Chain A
């Protein structure tokens, strides 16, 4: 096994203009990448350059800039597809608005065409609302049975009863990495069981794809949904990867321009994927930004990013325990192969909103609340947590300021 060369965090930090900002007269400490990542200057420049030199609608005009625009947009599909190991990126990458829309697309198209009353959908207790509510909406409409793989005391999926839960399921939907616990789930293992039971596997990759090297084929996913803005691209663009044969058999999602072969007053014929699922003018500048972000991440190396964040997660968990001890409750598994850089914590009995407000005074950006995972919060027995999430530019100083802020919150509310 080769050891990835460590990141030069000091140099990388210079790539992010927002990190030069001061908040309340202190340097910003950005620990909210799980919510939305920051953009390196190259992404911002690429989007500005696109608008300044190239912008035109795609798949329409024949003039030079329209050709270039179309090329940039379609090339983004290839860049993003290769990044996740898609075997046929030109046909398998659908651009959406975000992870949420990607999952809703599957629920509206594949699921409506393939599921009927009484069919079982298996999710997990640690899902984000984005992978819960679309299925509950569909269940209300057509009468699905929705079940869940439980979460154990350490914040991992409890797979003891998996074969029973999977039996008869038509779809297994799970997060590859929890946005609350940081747990990296054994997707390949679960997908193998799901496939042998005849189920299709939908993976919410919003948290994993930006931080861990992945290969959709090794993952065993049939659908993979993720967002541009969590991987240093812009907001407003998300991705759905799906196996080509699944996409080809799926009915359209939104109707409109760009998704048709032919339209008559009384009928239409849909285009082939991916155009079939991209009605209307797509997020072109955002695709340019996203492909630039992917190039940026690849340039650094996902294995090095993962190694850095893994090491810093271990440091953070250790330091929080050393400095705050039993006053600080950290959710999720201990640092290791199955733990990403998402650190949800409760400090004494101080509400997460109050913690975050005090941390803001230190320039520290964390996310307080239920993280769009209310069923999981109930399971953990908390109303809200404060969540610090790491990025390739995070370092030990960020963790020290976080701890400094928590100590001050303890003093204020003690």
Chain B
């Protein structure tokens, strides 16, 4: 019954991370920093505890609840960024957001078709499984929820917000 696009959306790795989310829970705060993300349209929420030490994301835990796309994206993200340097994490956030805005990138500045933005899928690893989401624009916000929260959390840590 399912179309190819639909199967791309719900790939096995996404369902696996949804059923068995990695890095679930909460870190003691402080020393960890806590940041929340909400999708006001559907009520999904994510709570990220992140522990930054020596310019590395030493640990993070994911809480909250939501649909399979938002929760698996958060789980995949946690696996991908844990232990990485902050520069690497920011680079990954940038690359992931680029993948999620691929349609906008294709449209170019004046609405004309443009060369696709180069996405380094190798760098994304398992996260590339989420690229099927871009064919379902309503769900992009689900996939990016945890990433936007993580970026906000890193900004807050850098700015010394507790």
Are B42 and A352 closer than 8 Å at their CB atoms? yes
Are A353 and B2 closer than 8 Å at their CB atoms? no
Contact segment of B62-70, B74-82, B115-123? B62-70
Taking CB atoms, residues of chain A closer than 8 Å to B43 are 369-370, 374, 377, 383-384
Are B3 and A24 closer than 8 Å at their CB atoms? yes
Tell whether B50 is near chain A: CB-to-CB under 8 Å. no
Are B1 and A353 closer than 8 Å at their CB atoms? no
Are B68 and A362 closer than 8 Å at their CB atoms? no
Tell whether B36 is near chain A: CB-to-CB under 8 Å. no
Which of B2, B18, B65, B142 is A361 in contact with, Cβ under 8 Å? B2
Which of B3, B15, B45, B139 is A353 in contact with, Cβ under 8 Å? B139
Are A412 and B10 closer than 8 Å at their CB atoms? yes
Taking CB atoms, residues of chain B closer than 8 Å to A362 are 1
The 10 A-B pairs of least Cβ separation, nearest first, read A353-B67, A351-B67, A370-B43, A369-B42, A383-B43, A354-B68, A384-B43, A354-B67, A361-B6, A361-B2
Given A353-B67, A383-B65, A413-B15, answer yes or no on A361-B1 (Cβ-Cβ < 8 Å): yes
Cα A408 to Cα B65 with chains together (Å): 22
A329 smallest CB distance to B (angstroms): 16
Please, what's the 1-or-0 string for A393-414, where 1 marks a CB less than 8 Å from any CB in chain B?
A: 0000000000000001000110
Taking CB atoms, residues of chain B closer than 8 Å to A357 are 6, 9-10, 136, 139
Main secondary structure on A side of the interface with B: helix
Please, what's the 1-or-0 string for B120-153, where 1 marks a CB less than 8 Å from any CB in chain A?
A: 0000000000000000100100100000000000
Closest to A383 in B: B43
Are A351 and B1 closer than 8 Å at their CB atoms? no
Closest to B68 in A: A354
B residues 10-45 with Cβ under 8 Å of A?
A: 10, 15, 18, 41-45
Cα A352 to Cα B136 with chains together (Å): 16
Closest to A374 in B: B43
Taking CB atoms, residues of chain B closer than 8 Å to A368 are 42
Closest to A24 in B: B3
Cα A352 to Cα B139 with chains together (Å): 12
Taking CB atoms, residues of chain B closer than 8 Å to A370 are 42-43
Taking CB atoms, residues of chain A closer than 8 Å to B67 are 351-354
Taking CB atoms, residues of chain A closer than 8 Å to B1 are 361-362, 408
Taking CB atoms, residues of chain A closer than 8 Å to B9 are 357
Taking CB atoms, residues of chain B closer than 8 Å to A369 are 41-43
Size of the A side of the interface (Cβ < 8 Å), in residues, is 18
Closest to A362 in B: B1
Cα A368 to Cα B42 with chains together (Å): 7
Are B2 and A384 closer than 8 Å at their CB atoms? no
Closest to A349 in B: B65
Closest to A26 in B: B1
Cα A351 to Cα B69 with chains together (Å): 10
- Residue with the highest number of chain A CB atoms closer than 10 Å, among B15, B42, B69, B136: B42
A residues 342-367 with Cβ under 8 Å of B?
A: 351-354, 357, 361-362
Cα A99 to Cα B139 with chains together (Å): 28
Cα A21 to Cα B6 with chains together (Å): 20
Cα A408 to Cα B67 with chains together (Å): 17
Are B42 and A384 closer than 8 Å at their CB atoms? yes
Cα A200 to Cα B42 with chains together (Å): 34
A-B contact pairs, 13 of them (CB 8 A): A351-B66, A351-B67, A352-B42, A353-B66, A353-B67, A353-B68, A353-B69, A357-B6, A357-B9, A357-B136, A368-B42, A384-B44, A413-B68
Taking CB atoms, residues of chain A closer than 8 Å to B44 are 351, 353, 383-384
A219 smallest CB distance to B (angstroms): 32
Taking CB atoms, residues of chain A closer than 8 Å to B15 are 412-413
Are A353 and B6 closer than 8 Å at their CB atoms? no
Taking CB atoms, residues of chain A closer than 8 Å to B139 are 353, 357
Cα A354 to Cα B136 with chains together (Å): 12
Taking CB atoms, residues of chain A closer than 8 Å to B69 are 353-354
- Residue with the highest number of chain B CB atoms closer than 10 Å, among A24, A370, A383, A413: A383
Please, what's the 1-or-0 string for B53-92, where 1 marks a CB less than 8 Å from any CB in chain A?
A: 0000000000001111100000000000000000000000
Taking CB atoms, residues of chain B closer than 8 Å to A354 are 67-69
Cα A384 to Cα B42 with chains together (Å): 7
A5 smallest CB distance to B (angstroms): 38
Cα A354 to Cα B65 with chains together (Å): 13
- Residue with the highest number of chain B CB atoms closer than 10 Å, among A351, A352, A368: A351
Cα A323 to Cα B67 with chains together (Å): 24
A residues 202-260 with Cβ under 8 Å of B?
A: none
Cα A361 to Cα B6 with chains together (Å): 8
Taking CB atoms, residues of chain A closer than 8 Å to B6 are 357, 361
Other A-B pairs beyond A352-B42, A354-B67, A383-B65, 11, CB < 8 Å:
A351-B67, A353-B42, A353-B44, A354-B68, A361-B3, A369-B42, A374-B43, A377-B43, A383-B45, A384-B43, A413-B18
Which of B2, B3, B66, B136 is A383 in contact with, Cβ under 8 Å? B66
B3 smallest CB distance to A (angstroms): 6
Cα A352 to Cα B138 with chains together (Å): 14
